[in-house]
Structure 1
Amino acid sequence: MYFFRLRVINTILFLVVGVFIGFILKGRVNPPPVASAAPRYQPAYEAVPVKPEAEAVEAEEEELPPEPEKAAGPRRAAAPAPAREEEDAELSIEADTPAPPGARRQPVFLSVEPAAFFKGAAGYAGRDLEMTLQLITVKKAAGGWRLNFVYTFPDKTIDYLYLDDTSTLGTSPDLRIGYVYNVRFRCERGDLSDGNTLSFIEPTGDKANWATGLSAIE
């Protein structure tokens, strides 16, 4: 029984090995045909002639139409300089022109609140000042007049300012007790009682409640 089985198995193995060897030998003896490449045809290249650069530029210029000549119009007249510039130039010239010899320079007056001045008069020494004050009396002095003004602080305390005049008021000034005046003066020393010279005075229209219009000249 076992003998027949071995015979069958050997036979099958011989067949398989024979078929395998046959395929190997067939591939070596008859190699597969190599596909031949199909011929490819390409048309011959024709070179295009290139024009020189100068000829190409001339050809383009010949093709462009000529530009029409513009008629020369009348020239525009130059606009006159603004009047403002002329005025500024005149002002600049006037400002730069030095004053003639002997000309008196006009003082520039500093407007000051009376409260600030009466609290620190020393800080205004050598200044030309302008303020509003209430007149009390005007006395005849050597070469002119001496004016006495009063200032009342918020706490009801009072202080006095004395101004001397030699040319502003004249011989018979019309000044009244208790009236308020706008005055300009030179504060030479920063002292309320001395060194103050009057240069201008005019009434403001205001007056104290107790003022009756009496003359302030003693």
Structure 2
Amino acid sequence: MSLSVHSLSCARGGIQVLTGVGFAVAPGEALILRGPNGAGKTTLLRTLAGLTPPLEGRIDAPDDGIAYAGHADGLKAQLSVAENLRFWAGVFGATGIEAAVEAFDLGELLDRRAGNLSAGQKRRLSLARLLVTGRPVWCLDEPTVSLDVDNVARFARAVETHLSNGGSAIIATHIDLGLPTARSLDITPFTRRNQPVTVDEADPFLSEGAL
């Protein structure tokens, strides 16, 4: 099933930042979100992933859900690389971590505590978690932060494999990932700045300053 968005309006911190967003991403497709900093790419991805409720509009997504990877690595620092992957595999009912380890070249790091990894290694482990979710749609917010050229290419290969298996991806990035079939969407025309909304309409956690 494809993911489709219809007349979506989104808010962040009690301020409406996007209005009238519409697009569709079919299985096997990648969509690259473009736009300047502050245009609303992160807000849109968080809304798609169900982390922030929309103000208006509709999101039609596959029943088995969306995997989201944001700026935070989301790792358990006291656990090893292998333990982090096994934890998330257990959460999502995956049967193994081997494909994730191979895709992001984590074999020599399996016994190392996540808290002792470099920034680039943490990012690779964070992205490797996507492969154990089993979720068909990936929403990725600047996923290549802290990655060198070789690991950007490794990430792009992981995305291509996901697409070839019928998955889809929506990615906010400022760099060329080398995905020749990916489409681009400039969200600037949907940006609506400085439009206050009430607490009932906005994300209540953001409105109350809890995040």
Q: TM-score, normalised by structure 1?
A: 0.21
Question: RCO (CA 8 Å, sep 6+): is it higher in 1 or 2?
Answer: 2
Q: TM-score, normalised by structure 2?
A: 0.22
Q: Which has the larger radius of gyration?
A: 1
